[in-house]
Amino acid sequence: MAHTFEELVQKQRAAAAAHATVDELRDTYGPPAERGMTGAQSGTYETALRAWRDLARDVQTAL
């Protein structure tokens, strides 16, 4: 499926925003490897990480 330049830019911006959210959560909660997160924090982080991966995959697929 062909995408316009504007669509590609929108997809990239969405992926970048999702990445920024993951970075903010990591800064707020600490690194996931330390497992200092509560259950709710871990769920929020995992959801944000999944969203970022899905959006980044969409960008790569579109390219």
Q: Kindly list the domain boundaries of the chain, sorted by start residue.
A: 5-62
- What is the pLDDT averaged over residues 7-14? 95
Which residues, 6 or more positions from 8, have their beta carbon under 8 angstroms from its beta carbon?
A: 59, 62, 63
The answer to whether 48 touches 21, Cβ cutoff 8 Å, is yes
CA angle 16, 14, 61 (to 5 degrees): 95
Question: 14 vs 33, 56, 62, CA distance in Å?
Answer: 26, 9, 13
The answer to whether 21 touches 53, Cβ cutoff 8 Å, is no
pLDDT of 37 reads 80
**What's the pTM value of the predicted model, to 2 decimals?**
0.85
